[in-house]
Amino acid sequence: MNKKRLLLSIGFLSNLVFLPLLLSCQKQAEIPVKINNQLSLSAQEKEDKNWNSFLNSESINTLLNTAFYNEETKQVDEHEKQNFIEEQKAIDTQKYLQEIRESLFYSNLIQTNSFILSFFGTPIHSVKNSREKIKDLTSKNWLWLLYNFDKFVFIYSLERDLFKHTTEEYDEQVAETNLNIGSLYSPKTNNFIDHASMIYSNTFDKPIPDGDDKSFHRKTTKFFLMNEDGFIFELEINSSYQEDPKTNQFKIERDIRSFPYLKSYPKLLKSTNKKKDFSLSDYIKNTQFFEGYIPNEVDKILFEELHGGEQLRYGIIQTKNKK
């Protein structure tokens, strides 16, 4: 009996001896989990802060309010705007960047027709899918694109008009641009310092013709953003009445798309005070066609001379490598 009590006592004492050690091991195991949770929370907090800063910037805020302005209520549709923002924020950035990287490999600004087309003249499957991915990027996920602007690389892409210059002159222009400015552009931030917009066409303020319906009402707005390096990014915002086949009721629909090109001018890129030295309103006036207005060719030439030469164009070519 005493022997059993002695064994029980020893067992009890041994448990007391090892209990602090077991608790210590358990706490040590919990520490990495807590650290990982803290790091994850910290990363999410940082991402939320970055998004808020981006969305509250004057240019992006104005863009969103323009994009989600309801011509029927004459107010910004805050509910639709916020839903769109949350959708864009929810995109898995690393996964989506990888998809875009692969798509740009098959379908980008420098692919030749012989590569893109199959023997039967139909886009091969991978190229067709890649084109759709790029289209979604610029038309459905344009806000995500602007937020992740610094994760893309753009390449100089000359628009050739052989009525204006010879092939040799264009080759000289390419060589000069590559030497003085560079053939590749890699944004360092997603900071846009200026913006401007113009109404391309608008029938919302006009009476509906006899025999027509609400779908007559359409509006197209072009919106321009200039980033801190002096590159101009363009979006097109279309609003129109579309009939719901289920209810036969008309409601406002939006079609918003951006363009995979950046525009600029030699002097603008070299300017140390871009917002002061370059007017987006003058840029629109001298380069853009819209309803009832055609820019004067002489004014366009003078505008180009003022800013160092013909317009430069850069297009998306790839995403940056993950560091």
- The gap between the terminal CA atoms of the chain, to the nearest Å, is 70
3-state helix, strand, coil in the chain (%, to 5): 50, 20, 30
- Give the CA distances from residue 134 to residues 31, 44, 85, 308, in Å, rounded to whole numbers and listed in that order: 43, 27, 20, 32
Q: How confident is the model at residue 275 (pLDDT cuts 50, 70, 90)?
A: very high
How far apart CA 53 and CA 65 sit, in angstroms, is 16
The tokens of 280 are what? 């987006």
Each residue's pLDDT tens digit, 37-53: 555 568 888 999 999 99
> 111, exposed or middle or buried, with CB in 10 Å at 0-12, 13-18, 19+?
middle
Higher-pLDDT residue of 103, 125: 103
- Cα-based distances in Å from 198 to 74, 159, 232, 291: 17, 24, 15, 10
Asked if 231 and 262 count as a contact pair (C-beta separation under 8 A), the reply is: yes
Q: For residue 132, give the nearest of 110, 111, 92, 102 by alpha carbon.
A: 102
| Tokens standing for residue 107 | 């379908």
**In terms of pLDDT, which residue wins out, 163 or 102?**
102
pLDDT tens figures, 75-122: 999 999 999 999 999 999 999 999 999 999 887 766 544 455 555 555
Q: How far apart are alpha carbons 79 and 270 in whole angstroms? A: 41
The pTM score is 0.80
Q: Which H or E run contains 106? A: helix 93-106
Domain parsing of the chain, residue ranges: 59-91+141-323
Asked if residue 187 has pLDDT above 80, the reply is yes
Res. 151: pLDDT tops 90: yes
What token pair was written down for 71? 């011509």
Determine the number of helices (DSSP H) and then strands (DSSP E) in the chain. 12, 9
Q: What does the mean pLDDT of the chain come to?
A: 82
Band (pLDDT 50/70/90 cuts) for residue 16 is: very low
Whole-number percent of the chain with pLDDT over 90: 53
- Averaged pLDDT, 152-170: 65
Per-residue pLDDT tens over the stretch 196-253: 999 998 888 888 877 677 777 889 999 999 999 999 999 999 998 876 777 767 788 8
Reading the block at residue 292, the tokens are 């009832």
The answer to whether the beta carbons of residues 207 and 263 sit under 8 Å apart is no
Give residues with Cβ within 8 angstroms of 147, minimum separation 6: 51, 54, 88, 190
